[in-house]
Amino acid sequence: MTTPANDGNWHRAVIVRIEPRTPGMRSYFLHAPLARHVAGQHVDVRLTAPDGYQAHRSYSIASRPGAAGIELAIAAHDDGEVSGWFHDVAAVGDVIDVRGPLGGHFVWDGSQDGPLLLVAGGAGIVPLVSIARAWQAAGSATPLLVLHSAREAGALAFREALAALDEPGRYVTATTRGAPPPGGFGRRIDAAMLDAVLESWGHVPAASYLCGPTDFVEAMGKLLVARDLPARSIRTERFG
């Protein structure tokens, strides 16, 4: 597997479009002179105040490789210094600094063989959307299953796009509060749910990508290992 080279320098990026994803998440589309990314990678974002104070955070790329521009889907956090600026201040035309693309482990470039399982908790869906989009754009015959857990149906970012995945792609949701979407589960992902979903899918994952809060990712990893999936086939990205 290869990843694109980047020069490690900061580059100026312009916000060209902003779209809501959920009540707590928006997508920011950037025009930036960066190398082509691999699905699953991220960029560093740096903000500079008039007094010279700087803050930076890492954000996963939601857009597919080769798309015009970079899409960052950013969730709001009460104490988020950078996410707060994006949600409260950022506007089309604003200029920020970005560096990347970064990351070489949590990536999918289409060369991997065998069924592909993507499991997300909340905002952890963002890099997995890039992978799903890359899979779809490639017309891959590899079976794909996306399992997304969130607090409520309104927090299932990218739900419409993922629900429209063509066969052999499949999208399953789980919500822990309120009524689940049609066909979705109304509880946390547990062993029984995972068994039912995998049995219905009819495939054994050759590679699994898990992204979300640390506790969620660790729990999902244990469930997959308990089903005799090799630990080396499970890739994780966590936050919080």
Counting residues of the chain whose pLDDT is more than 90, the rounded percentage is 91
Predicted TM-score (pTM) of the model is 0.95
CATH number of the domain where residue 193 is located: 3.40.50.80
Which tens digits make up the pLDDT trace of 99-113?
A: 999 999 999 999 888
pLDDT at 78: 85
Give the largest Cα separation in the chain, rounded. Answer: 58
Q: Does a structural domain hold residue 157? A: yes
**Distance between CA atoms of residues 67 and 48, nearest Å:** 27
Shared domain check, 29 and 134? no
Is position 3 within any domain? no
Measured CA to CA, the distance from residue 234 to residue 221 in angstroms comes to 7
**Using CA atoms, how far apart are residues 99 and 54, in angstroms rounded to an integer?**
14
Tell me the two tokens of residue 175.
Answer: 């919500």
CA 143 to chain CA centroid, Å, is 19
Task: State the average pLDDT for the chain.
Answer: 94
Structural domain including 180 reads 116-239
Q: Report the pLDDT value the prediction gives residue 6, as an integer from 0 to 100.
A: 66
Looking at the structure, tell me whether residues 122 and 96 fall in a common domain.
Answer: no
HSE toward the beta carbon, residue 141, CA cutoff 13 A: 0
pLDDT of residue 39: 98
Q: Take residue 109 and report the two structure tokens written for it.
A: 């470039």
CB distance 54 to 2 below 8 Å: no
For residues 69 and 168, membership in a common domain is answered with: no
Residue 240 reports pLDDT greater than 80:
no
Is residue 122 located within the same domain as residue 226? yes
Query: Measured between alpha carbons, how far is 60 from 65 in angstroms, rounded to an integer?
Result: 13
Q: In whole angstroms, give the CA distance from residue 1 to residue 165.
A: 25
Residues 16 and 97 in one domain: yes
End-to-end CA distance of the chain: give it in Å, rounded.
28
What is the average pLDDT across 128-138? 96
At 158-214, the pLDDT tens digits run 999 999 998 999 999 999 998 999 999 999 999 999 999 999 999 999 999 999 999
Q: How many domains does the chain have?
A: 2
User: Is residue 163 situated within a structural domain?
Assistant: yes
122, 43: one domain: no
